[in-house]
Structure 1
Amino acid sequence: MDCARMYARDPIFNISIPNSKLKLGFLILTLHYIISHLRRKLSHSSLSAIQGQRRRRRKKKKKKKNKGEMTTVPGQLIWEIVKKNNSFLVKEFGRGTQSIEFSREPNNLYNLNSFKYSGLANKKTVTIQPAGKDQSVLLATTKTKKQNKPSALLHKSIMKKEFKRMAKAVQNQIADNYYRPDLKKAALARLSAVNKSLRIAKSGAKKRNRQGVKVPGRK
């Protein structure tokens, strides 16, 4: 009704047209003008509504990100804080110049207290350790996107095959995938030491079992 009143006040609509065909054409043009005007209004309102929805969605996404993310601290800063005082630190051969500092965290391949091998200061770490009684070896790497979820922090895989295949798997996971190529040598050395210890433990268990067997009829 408001639109009709608005258009009725316009002097264009008060023009007297004698011919009926001209009246019909003028009426069609008038209706077309009204429809286009209403469309512009509706499109403007719908566009503003869509923009408002987009703003609200962006705000919600930002809130979710702020809840899920932790404040990222540089690894070098963490290292400066923990390198001289942490619960895993072990000092050998006194406190002089000949002393050696070791670190007992599981994701330190050489167990050395250094930034390169530290499992506390680096986001990308590698763990290689015995996985069970069947001479299997655990290979675990840290997920960079799960730093705030300790239960889902590690990507674990169990290796049960011969040493060459395990070494190839370690090389593929660490060096070939560009995860931590600088730890390739340390990871292979750790794998060799773990595999050797498992073989020695297995052979020792066999010897003990043989010594414990009693032959019937002998004293």
Structure 2
Amino acid sequence: MSRDLQWLVIRKSSSYLLKSKTATFTKEPFNLMGKNSYKYNGLVNKQAIDIRPDPAGKGAIVSVKNRRRHHRPVVSAYSYPLLRGSRRAIRTLKQQGIVRCYRADLTDAAVRRTCAIYRSQRPTSGVQKRRSRKKRAQ
């Protein structure tokens, strides 16, 4: 079945859809932006990239769909971790051709997703309690 026909079938009636009054989002795998559009759809496109947080909480895991095995879902994707820091992860995504040679239109989305994952894993400093001021004696 062609990709266009698949998109026409799942565009309005997918189990991953999240509909609201203003926009339609999706929770499907291999969708970097979460938008319900043909460009970002991970089910329809043969080439897709997914970046998700590492279960251990340190880094990200990049999954890439294999172009040649798109008709075999079990073995169509391979994944590897990015565990050495946000700057190195972004450099890996940009320089090693993971996104650039694979789907150049998703480079910005992949970098933003990676930054958001690493930002969420940063330790936060505790919120300081607000001290009440003492009244001056007059």
The TM tier, using the shorter chain, reads: 0.7 to 0.9
Q: What letter corresponds to residue 109 of structure 2 in structure 1?
A: A
User: What are the residue-to-residue correspondences of 1:142-157 with 2, within 5 Å?
Assistant: 142-157=65-80
Match of 1:192, SS? helix
1:165 to 2:85 alignment: no
Superposition deviation, residue 180 in structure 1: 0.3
Greater strand share, 1 or 2? Answer: 2
C-alpha separation in 2, matches of 1:148 and 1:113 = 22
1:127 corresponds in structure 2 to 50
1:85 corresponds in structure 2 to 13
1:203 corresponds in structure 2 to 124
- TM-score, length basis structure 1: 0.54
* 8 Å Cα contact 2:59/2:85 also seen in 1: no
Q: 1:136 aligns with which of 59, 63, 73?
A: 59
Superposition deviation, residue 151 in structure 1: 2.5
C-alpha separation in 2, matches of 1:183 and 1:134 = 24
* 8 Å Cα contact 2:18/2:24 also seen in 1: yes
1:29 corresponds in structure 2 to none
Q: Which runs of 5+ in 1 are unaligned?
A: 1-72, 208-219
C-alpha separation in 2, matches of 1:81 and 1:160 = 38
Superposition deviation, residue 86 in structure 1: 0.4
Per-residue CA deviation, residues 34-73 of structure 1 (Å, 9 max, x unaligned), is xxxxxxxxxxxxxxxxxxxxxxxxxxxxxxxxxxxxxxx2
Superposition deviation, residue 188 in structure 1: 0.6
Q: What letter corresponds to residue 157 of structure 1 in structure 2?
A: Y
C-alpha separation in 2, matches of 1:198 and 1:146 = 33
1:187 to 2:123 alignment: no
State the Cα RMSD in Å.
Answer: 1.7
Structure 1 stretches of 4+ moved >4 Å: none
- TM-score, length basis structure 2: 0.83
Superposition deviation, residue 75 in structure 1: 1.4
Q: What letter corresponds to residue 76 of structure 1 in structure 2?
A: D
1:174 corresponds in structure 2 to 99
Superposition deviation, residue 134 in structure 1: 4.3
1:104 to 2:27 alignment: yes
C-alpha separation in 2, matches of 1:151 and 1:121 = 16
Q: Which runs of 5+ in 2 are unaligned?
A: 127-138
Per-residue CA deviation, residues 115-166 of structure 1 (Å, 9 max, x unaligned), is 0001111111110001122412100110012223322111211011121110
Number of residue pairs aligned between Structure 1 and Structure 2: 125
Greater helix share, 1 or 2? Answer: 1
